[in-house]
Amino acid sequence: MPDRLSHARPKFIASDVYRATNHGRRHPLAIPRVTLAMEICRVLGWLNDGNFIDSPKATTADLAHFHNPLYINAVAAAERDGSLPDDVAQRHHIGINGNPIFDGMYQRPATACGGGLLAARMLMADQTEVIYAPGGGQHHGRPDRASGFCFFNEPALTIMTMLEQGAERVFYLDLDAHHGDGVQDAFADDERVLTVSIHESGRWPMARDRSGEGSVEDRAGGGARNLPVPQGFNDVELEYLMEAAVLPLLADFSPDAIYLQAGADALADDPQSKLALSNSAIWRAVAAVRDSGSRLLVAGGGGYNPYSVGRCWAGIWATLCRVSIPDTLPDAAEACLRDVVWHHRLGRNAPEHWFTTLADVPSVGPLRDEIKQLARTTLEP
């Protein structure tokens, strides 16, 4: 792709709605994530009125491009009334299966979708070539039901908008510890979209026996590549998969736009996976995709340790802006992290580096043969 936008600064799309709402005190997502990353970026001088855009809220009509209107109405009713009739709740998986009813449960994901749609339109209008929307990345949502903490499927709606705005091919890369099943299924029959998911093998939504959807054999009719990785997946192995599998797929597909879902739950400090990445490995993967030359939207996703998520996502913004990440945080940035209250056993005796640095200690481990085989299988016709 020509270097038509090298002058354009990356844009950061988010909203204070993420500060005002959460999933309820006992939910894994009842932690500061987007707002913490924003605060760190602001005090470090990386985020200001010149590069920040307040996210709009998607309209009902916007959401209906992917979601069933009856389901959209059910989410709105649950937010308004605080409950749903049992049959409606069961039908749409609202208030069950980890998808709680809470104040803001419609506004929050609708705002994430609005940010994604705005990003898609800006990118395809060549107003900028890199956008960061950490409030997005809800990759499990289904047209008629909630799934995996996701009420609306922001990546699916955003990619649909990229296509409507003129993209002929969109490359979706998912670094979340959980398989990007909702996005894969949304585009399984669309040759214009290639979805690539690197996720923990055997972890929900994959079957425990590691077969079926999300397995390396699962190609969704040709429009998907899945790289289920073993427990203990380390920095060396992610770098290898990027170089040996993901970047060749990206180059061969030659997309007009890229959507990178940068969930932070594959980090070693996350309580919801058994992977072992450092945030530096995520940043290097983001940098590699950034340097491909295509329009790029980077979103958030999973991540259930506020300290690791906030630091990782702040570092992603620095990576996209090509600014240096300090070895030691200044007092103001450290205070942002020390002010966090996390009601989890891992937060009771938090290691000092969670407060004083952005970068994790590198997770240097062996490059296992199964990772090499995974790369080879992924590139097979």
In CATH, what number is assigned to the domain containing residue 280?
A: 3.40.800.20
Q: pLDDT value at position 146? A: 99
- 311 found inside a domain: yes
Over residues 256-285, the mean pLDDT reads: 99
- SS3 assignment, position 200: strand
Q: pLDDT value at position 319? A: 99
- 292 found inside a domain: yes
Q: pLDDT value at position 59? A: 99
- 356 found inside a domain: yes
Over residues 192-220, the mean pLDDT reads: 95
Candidate from 209-213, 218-222, 249-253, 275-279 with smallest mean pLDDT: 209-213
Asked if pLDDT for residue 5 goes beyond 50, the answer is no
| Mean of per-residue pLDDT scores for the chain | 96
DSSP state of 156: H
Domain that holds residue 96: 11-379
DSSP calls for 220-281: GGGTEEEEEE-TT--HHHHHHHIIIIIHHHHHHH--SEEEEE--STTBTT-TT----B-HHH
Query: Rounded to whole angstroms, what are the CA distances from 181 to 54, 318, 337?
Result: 29, 29, 32
Q: pLDDT value at position 24? A: 81
Residue 88 buriedness (CB in 10 A; 0-12 / 13-18 / 19+): middle
Q: pLDDT value at position 1? A: 38
Query: What Rg, from alpha-carbon coordinates, does the chain have?
Result: 19
- 310 found inside a domain: yes
Count of structural domains within the chain: 1
- 1 found inside a domain: no
- 28 found inside a domain: yes
Asked if pLDDT for residue 310 goes beyond 80, the answer is yes
- 2 found inside a domain: no
- 270 found inside a domain: yes
**pLDDT tens digits for range 124-146:** 999 999 999 999 999 999 999 99
Query: Rounded to whole angstroms, what are the CA distances from 143 to 65, 99, 184, 198, 376?
Result: 9, 15, 13, 23, 34
User: Residues with Cβ < 8 Å from 119, sequence gap 6 or more?
Assistant: 11, 13, 131, 133, 158, 297
Q: Which tokens in the block code for residue 53?
A: 């855009």
Asked if pLDDT for residue 3 goes beyond 50, the answer is no
Over residues 101-117, the mean pLDDT reads: 98
**pLDDT tens digits for range 325-365:** 999 999 999 999 999 999 999 999 999 999 999 999 999 99
Q: pLDDT value at position 69? A: 99
In the chain, DSSP finds a helix count (H) and a strand count (E) of 15, 8
* Cβ pair 221, 254 in contact under 8 A: no
Asked if pLDDT for residue 253 goes beyond 60, the answer is yes
Over residues 72-99, the mean pLDDT reads: 98
